């Protein structure tokens, strides 16, 4: 297990449980302990009043999720990544306390000792090739499936980032998924009667995709080619001679964390320019390319400051979570957005039915509730004169104050209410991952305290999508 250093940060993990059997035993032991706690909690609830019972339930869910998160963090690999995905899907069916705790797996990950990952690098590149590099044994970043080390090529001093996959993670995926699905039921974090098989099928597919470093290399090179002429963005260059199925090496690209004091100190116009570029990038990825980097973690983005606003650039990192969307899905989703912007609920419903979010026979009240949520989500893109947008969230000239908005909280509350409906269903996987990135866009613009009116940018993207639509061609 990991320890904490003198600064309170998590220390490195000295070894990994890489075998399916030992990983299964560790999780099963956790499940048995959870069963005993559930029994004790249920007995104690008999003697509690309603209010105390509700408080006790919330604390119980929080503790169960914390134990689960701690164990997943120690095991690393696919089981931990699955825990991250559960925090994403979980907003639709897990207790709020469990989602909050599991979300901590996104950015509180201890690294693995160099002695564990060095053999992977040596086998992948060969000793002679590895000797060409001077590798920093302290990782730049650690995640659930691998970690990144900074390196320098001895011959020319080229600065590199070497992403190394943890040993055994690819082989453990199937066993991890089976064990974790059972564990989630044993800890009673999922509602009774809810079939979570589709969720785990999606998690399984996602995990296989994220350990496919050849695919990640392809998407990195594709993004680099498509953004090569756009001075607002930097994509690392893949260094092919130091890549394999378990190692991905790219050029090291410097930049500042989004929350760095030097970024916060930028004047409003420079922050707005950065935010506008970030918003436009997302809309281009989805509506034009049908190819979206769906992991919005701040660790995947850096800001490189120039001498002025024209020189400021986003550095884009880690394309392992890139998802490809079919044109039919894009067209149907575009109809939902158009319907929400125009307050046209029939159009909105048609898009939702086509995408699988609802059935044609749903009651009007269910359709209206869904439409109200969609109309709320597009609040930043409403016309400047729209009186439904809180006055405090508009500048004098009609720009949206992203940093002052509580829109994510309002939308989450409305989504939670809608989830209580008997007509509720876990959204299609495309929606879950698209909205993951969409939420990341909002958080990015909020972190930059942008004052940006993105309506025209969105309308232009919708117009381009309509031009590409096969339906338009058929008409």
Report pLDDT digits (tens) over 50-65.
Answer: 444 454 445 655 665 6
Whether 74 and 138 map to the same domain: the answer is no
Instruction: Identify which of 324, 285, 288 has the alpha carbon closest to the alpha carbon of residue 469.
Output: 288
Asked if residue 459 belongs to a domain, the reply is yes
Asked if residue 7 belongs to a domain, the reply is no
Asked if residue 189 belongs to a domain, the reply is yes
The token pair that represents 191 in the structure block:
């509602």
Flag whether pLDDT at 11 surpasses 80: no
Given 253, 278, 302, which residue is the final one in a domain? 253
Whether 334 and 472 map to the same domain: the answer is yes
Instruction: Identify which of 37, 27, 44 has the alpha carbon closest to the alpha carbon of residue 62.
Output: 37
Whether 309 and 390 map to the same domain: the answer is yes
Whether 182 and 153 map to the same domain: the answer is no
pLDDT given for residue 35 in this prediction = 36
Q: What distance in Å separates the CA atoms of residue 278 and residue 314, rounded to the nearest whole number?
A: 8
pLDDT given for residue 43 in this prediction = 32
Whether 270 and 308 map to the same domain: the answer is yes
Mean pLDDT of the region 173-187: 72
Q: Tell me the chain's radius of gyration from C-alpha atoms.
A: 24
Tokens 């207790």 — which residue? 95
DSSP string of 429-474, one letter each residue: HHHHHHHHHHHHHHHHHHHTT-EE--HHHHHHHHHHHHHH-HHHHH
Q: What distance in Å separates the CA atoms of residue 248 and residue 124, rounded to the nearest whole number?
A: 10
Asked if residue 1 belongs to a domain, the reply is no
pLDDT given for residue 210 in this prediction = 83
pLDDT given for residue 112 in this prediction = 86
> Please, which residues have CB within 8 angstroms of residue 153's CB and are 6 or more apart in sequence?
132, 133, 134, 160
76 and 144 Cβ atoms separated by less than 8 Å? yes
Whether 222 and 183 map to the same domain: the answer is no
Whether 358 and 417 map to the same domain: the answer is yes
Domain that holds residue 99: 20-108+172-194
Mean pLDDT of the region 255-279: 96
Between residues 41 and 114, the one the model is more confident about: 114
Asked if residue 159 belongs to a domain, the reply is yes
Beta-bridge partners for 164: 147, 247
Residue 246: give its domain's CATH number: 3.30.200.20
Whether 443 and 371 map to the same domain: the answer is yes
Whether 243 and 324 map to the same domain: the answer is no
Asked if residue 356 belongs to a domain, the reply is yes
Name the range with the highest mean pLDDT among 160-174, 273-287, 354-368: 273-287
Reduced to 3 states (helix: H, G, I; strand: E, B; else coil), residue 115 is: helix
Percentage above 90 pLDDT, the chain: 48
Flag whether pLDDT at 470 surpasses 50: yes
Beta-bridge partners for 163: 148, 248
Mean pLDDT of the region 170-193: 70
- Beta strands 247-251; 291-293: pairing state: unpaired
Flag whether pLDDT at 38 surpasses 50: no
Asked if residue 227 belongs to a domain, the reply is yes
pLDDT band at 26 (very low <50, low <70, confident <90, very high): very low
pLDDT given for residue 3 in this prediction = 40
Between residues 404 and 81, the one the model is more confident about: 404
Whether 50 and 30 map to the same domain: the answer is yes
| Domain count for the chain | 3
> Please, which residues have CB within 8 angstroms of residue 441's CB and are 6 or more apart in sequence?
278, 279, 282, 296
pLDDT given for residue 6 in this prediction = 40
* pTM score of the predicted model: 0.79
Whether 40 and 73 map to the same domain: the answer is yes
Asked if residue 9 belongs to a domain, the reply is no
Tokens 């925090």 — which residue? 87
pLDDT given for residue 299 in this prediction = 83
Instruction: Identify which of 92, 88, 42, 89 has the alpha carbon closest to the alpha carbon of residue 64.
Output: 42
Flag whether pLDDT at 173 surpasses 90: no
Flag whether pLDDT at 29 surpasses 50: no
Question: Which range has the worst mean pLDDT, 25-34, 69-78, 100-109, 273-282?
Answer: 25-34
462 and 390 Cβ atoms separated by less than 8 Å? no
Whether 283 and 401 map to the same domain: the answer is yes
């Amino acid at each position: 297990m990991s320890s904490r250093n003198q600064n309170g940060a998590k220390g490195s993990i000295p070894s990994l449980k890489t075998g399916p059997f030992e990983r299964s035993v560790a999780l099963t032991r956790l499940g048995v302990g959870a069963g005993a706690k559930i029994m004790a909690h249920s007995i104690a609830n008999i003697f509690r009043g309603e209010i105390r019972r509700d408080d006790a339930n919330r604390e119980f869910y929080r503790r169960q999720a914390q134990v689960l998160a701690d164990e997943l963090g120690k095991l690393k690999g696919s089981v931990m990544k699955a825990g991250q995905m559960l925090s994403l899907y979980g907003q639709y069916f897990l207790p709020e306390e469990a989602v909050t705790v599991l979300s901590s797996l996104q950015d509180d990950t201890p690294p693995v000792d160099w002695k564990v990952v060095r053999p992977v690098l040596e086998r992948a590149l060969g000793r002679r090739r590895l000797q060409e590099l001077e590798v920093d044994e302290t990782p730049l970043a650690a995640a659930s499936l691998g970690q990144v080390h900074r390196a320098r090529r001895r011959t020319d001093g080229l600065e590199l980032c070497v992403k190394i996959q943890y040993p055994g993670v690819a082989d453990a995926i199937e066993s991890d998924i089976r064990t974790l699905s059972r564990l989630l039921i044993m800890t009673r974090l999922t509602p009774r009667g809810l079939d979570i098989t589709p969720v785990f099928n999606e998690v399984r597919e996602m995990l296989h995709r994220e350990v496919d470093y050849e695919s990640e290399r392809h998407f990195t090179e594709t993004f680099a080619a498509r953004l090569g002429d756009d001075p607002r963005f930097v994509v690392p260059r893949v260094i092919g001679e130091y890549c394999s199925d378990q190692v991905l090496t790219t050029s090291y690209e410097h930049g500042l964390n989004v929350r760095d004091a030097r970024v916060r100190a930028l004047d409003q116009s420079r922050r707005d320019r950065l935010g506008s570029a970030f918003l436009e990038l997302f809309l281009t990825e989805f509506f034009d390319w049908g190819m979206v980097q769906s992991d919005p973690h701040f660790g995947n983005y850096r800001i490189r400051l120039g001498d002025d606003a024209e020189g400021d650039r986003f550095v884009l990192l880690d394309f392992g979570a890139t998802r490809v969307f079919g044109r039919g899905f894009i067209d149907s989703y575009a109809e939902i957005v158009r319907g929400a912007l125009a307050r046209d609920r029939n159009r909105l419903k048609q898009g939702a039915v086509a995408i699988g979010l609802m059935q044609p026979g749903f009651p009007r009240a269910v359709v209206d509730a869904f439409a109200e949520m969609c109309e709320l989500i597009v609040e930043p893109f409403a016309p400047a004169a729209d009186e439904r947008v809180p006055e405090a969230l508009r500048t004098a000239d009609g720009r949206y104050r992203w940093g002052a908005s509580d829109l994510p909280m309002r939308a989450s509350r409305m989504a939670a209410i809608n989830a209580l409906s008997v007509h509720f269903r876990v959204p299609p996987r495309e929606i879950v991952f698209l909205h993951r990135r969409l939420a990341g866009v909002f958080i990015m613009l909020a972190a930059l305290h942008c004052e940006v009116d993105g309506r025209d940018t969105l309308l232009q993207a919708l117009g381009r999508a309509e031009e590409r639509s096969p339906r338009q061609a058929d008409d």
